[in-house]
Structures are given as structure tokens and as C-alpha cells.
Amino acid sequence: MQGKRNYNLILGAAITAVMLSLILSGLIRTPHDPNKINAGNSLSAPSAQYLLGTDNFGRDILSRVIIGAGSTLYVAAATVAIGALAGMLIGGLTGYFGGWVDELFMRAGDIILAFPSILLALVLISLIGPGRNNIIIALGIMFIPSFARVVRGEYVRCRELDYVHSARIIGTGNMRIMFVHILPNAAPVILRAIAIGFNNAVLAEASMSYLGLGVQPPDASLGRMLSESQSYLFSAPWYALSAGIAIVLLILGFSLLGEGIGARDNA
């Protein structure tokens, strides 16, 4: 059983490393200009020159997949950073001190979590407008309650343990107990939540871009590429497959990482 758990972690890390390598290479150079239009070469099949073929504007799909994956990962990282940092602060304070503040924040979180996060994000984006930065803000806000709930649960569990009582007895301050004593012990659960959060953020960003609310043209976006390729599923299937497989690999990598971290923590 342990071997299987390690396999999930290793495979997830390997898939994520490959995708990160492609994305980082795209920051330096892509095979072709991802935004260069060549109408005379539209919907070309994969070849030695265009490894994944071209889209309906004659743009190199591989280059656009690399840039689009980087954009998706950037949105996911920024979204998780907002949700995790704010969630850790709120969850840590409410879980450690409890009281009416805990009830207030948790009930507010319950209200937000009662609605589909993508639906609420759509409402926010409709108010502040589409675009990558606005998606980060909207999704980041939506992710705060889930992170806060996870962190709160760990702080509620840890605050009654012997090492916390010992720290209080010797006069250690509450902030030091929270961030020096409890936080490292809650780290495995938080890391698993971050891995799952990345997974959800990638899917949410792709969904928003698919609906035309994410990264705006001419910049590449995996979700938008998937949406635009629908009209060419039979005439140019490589178009949809390229964007779709990139999304699947990003999600699969983070999913396996989350499962692997959780399995190792429970072992």
C-alpha cells in the first residue's frame, strides 16, 4: 500500500515537473511566435515544423499551449496564494481563539461555500469585468473560506495538545504559539489543501477562459483554445486535443501530488 502512495506522489511530481519545464522554457523562447497569424497555413496537421499543428489563424499550437499553460499556472498560483494566506490567517485566529469571531467567520464561510464557487466567481467577474487579474481576485476570494476551514480545524485540534499547554505555562505569547508551534504541525494538511487548491484553480481558470471571461485575445489561454477548437473537432482534432491534454496534465499532476501528500501524512 505504501508503494502505491509513493507512486502517486512521484508520478504527480514528475508530471508537474514536465509541465513546469515547458512553461519555464516558454519564458525564454517558444518554437514560434504564439501570436503570429499565417492565414495561408491555417489548421495544418502536426509536422516537423509545427509539432502540434496550427490553429484556425495559422498560429503554432505548441507555442500557444506553452504560453497558455503558463498563464493558467500563474492564475492558479496567484489564486491559491490569496486564498491560502488569507485563509491561514483567518482560520488560525478563529481556530485558536474561538468565540464569537469564530462563529461569525465560519457562518460567513458557510454561506459562500453553499454556492458553487464558479457561479459566485461569474457574478464577481460580471461586476468587475473580464481579464486575468480580475479572475485572480474573484477566484482568490472564493478560495478563502475553504482554506480557512481546513486551517481552523487543525488549530482547534492542536490548541489542546500537550505541547501547546506547555508553551502557555512557560509564558509563550499567543502569536508565537500560533505561528511557531502550531503552524509547522499543521503544515502537512495545509500543503495537501494547497495541492488540491491548485487543481481546483486550474480547472476554474480554464472554465472562465472557456466562457471568454479569462485571458483576452490575442494572448493564449488553454480554456479559450478549447472553446475555439470546438468548430474544428472533426477537421482538425489536434487543435482541441492539444489544449485539452495540457489542461488534463496540469490537473492530474496536482491531483496526484495532493493524494500523495495526504497518503504520506496518514502513513
Half-sphere exposure of 152 (CA within 13 A, CB side): 23
Give residue-wise pLDDT tens across range 87-141: 899 888 888 887 777 788 778 777 777 777 777 777 888 788 777 888 888 888 8
Binned at pLDDT 50, 70 and 90, residue 169 comes out as confident
Average pLDDT score over residue span 144-156:
88
For position 4, what pLDDT does the model report? Answer: 47
Give residue-wise pLDDT tens across range 208-237: 888 888 778 788 889 889 988 888 888 889
Run of H or E residues at 215? none
For position 5, what pLDDT does the model report? Answer: 53
Residues linked to residue 60 through DSSP beta bridges, in sequence order:
54
CB atoms inside a 10 Å sphere around CB 180: 12
Average pLDDT score over residue span 55-65:
91
The residues, ordered by sequence, that sit 6+ positions from 7 with a Cβ below 8 Å of its Cβ are none
pTM of the model: 0.84
Ranking 36-45, 65-74, 238-247 by mean pLDDT, the lowest is 36-45
Binned at pLDDT 50, 70 and 90, residue 60 comes out as very high
Give residue-wise pLDDT tens across range 181-206: 888 888 888 888 888 888 888 888 88
CA distance 43 to 64: 14
- Asked whether the predicted pLDDT for residue 172 surpasses 70, the reply is yes
In the chain, the domains with their CATH numbers are 7-38+48-266 (1.10.3720.10)
Contact indicator for 209, 188 with CB cutoff of 8 Å? no
Where do we find the cell 464558479? 118
Query: How far is the first Cα of the chain from the last one, in angstroms, to the nearest whole number?
Result: 10
Residue 53 cell numbers, joined? 499543428
CA distance 86 to 108: 14
Contact indicator for 265, 188 with CB cutoff of 8 Å? yes
Binned at pLDDT 50, 70 and 90, residue 3 comes out as very low
